[in-house]
Amino acid sequence: MTIVGKQTLSNLNDFQKEIHHDAKQLLDFDNFYSIFLKSKTVSETVDAVGRLIKNNQSHYEQFNPLFHYDNSFWITQLFVKLFRLRKLDYFSNLDSNQEIANCLRISGFPSLEFYFSTNSQLAKDGFYLREKNLQIDLLYLDIFNKDMFINADGFANLINSRIGKNLNAVDVKTLTGIFKTLAKILGEDDFSVDLNLLQSGNNQMLPLSKIDLPAIVTDQLFVLAQSRQKDIFALDNGFQIDFNEEMSLYLIQAIDSLGHSQWFFKVFDTYDQWTFLDVLTKYNWFLKWYLDNLNYLKIAYRDDLFPG
């Protein structure tokens, strides 16, 4: 066989290997997609989407499939499917033409539209749920490491936005309830979940990122509370505001055995139902004070995921 003939045969063999590689990858995709469509449990659904994403990240040698979607598309499908496993239709991924799209909408909230994005500057495998119109990240979801974390600043900025100001307390309660439901669903698959300021509970403590709290910040709080006829008290370790007969908020300082200081927000109510976000939503003057002094009052939380 001539040199040209050997080279031709070698090229054909390489081509055959590439075709075989692509065919197997396509067959795997079909299998994983079928499992996703038929899945009945949270674990099966999450695992199938993880496999689809990994398959999606493998390149084809010869084929250029028309069905290729980016990874965020599959996370969007996962979001919808997880709720439908519970027969809940909170989220829709259909556009105005009733075609499947890479976005999410919530019935009853026409002004809100969400999509999943990644942060190329962070060495993480997760996705951020972002509100499209406001460009605010609300949560971080990593299905490979099984993490779901709520972005405290994101929700605070949402309710203070031009869209959020049109939402009443019931709307915000409904919206946050959806994310609490998601947390419960993912918890069935052993996800590490932190609802942060969406978490109710009289034992819930929200640490502040700053160690020191200037007197001018707390002085402002005293003046604002008294001007709204809210009882505010100085405690040995901080402050207490009685917003109503059922709910009080504490801004308290704790010092550990090593002498390290840490400030916390704590909501306490009779029925163990109020969240810190509920307080921000219900009392606009308190929200304004919080955001005006965010440099000092920012909740200390996952700066590796939510920088800035």
Over residues 23-81, the pLDDT tens digits come to 887 888 889 999 999 999 999 999 999 999 998 877 765 566 666 688 899 999 999 99
Residues 138 and 284: their CA atoms lie apart, in Å, by 20
User: Which of 181, 198, 215 finishes a domain?
Assistant: 198
Residue 216 shares a structural domain with residue 172: no
Task: Report the C-alpha gap between 164 and 134 in whole angstroms.
Answer: 10
Same domain (yes/no): 214, 147: no
Q: How many whole angstroms separate alpha carbon 206 and alpha carbon 308?
A: 18
Q: Which residues of the chain have pLDDT under 70?
A: 1-15, 60-68, 96-97, 120-123, 308
Helix 169-187 crosses helix 42-57 at what angle (to 10 degrees)?
A: 80
pTM to 2 decimals?
0.86
Q: What pLDDT, on the 0 to 100 scale, is given for residue 8?
A: 52
| Secondary structure (DSSP) of 107-135 | TT-TT-EEEEE--TTS----EEEEETTTT
Amino acid identity, residue 187?
G
Based on the fold, state whether residues 152 and 227 are members of the same structural domain.
no
> Is 252 within the bounds of a domain?
yes
Q: Which two tokens stand for residue 154?
A: 């994101």
Residue 119 has what pLDDT?
A: 74
Distance CA 84, CA 273 (A): 26
Is residue 190 located within the same domain as residue 210?
no
Q: Domain span at residue 99?
A: 82-198
Q: Which helix (H) or strand (E) holds 147?
A: strand 147-150
Which of 153, 175, 198 is the last residue in one of the domains?
198
Nearest to 271 by CA among 244, 298, 233: 244
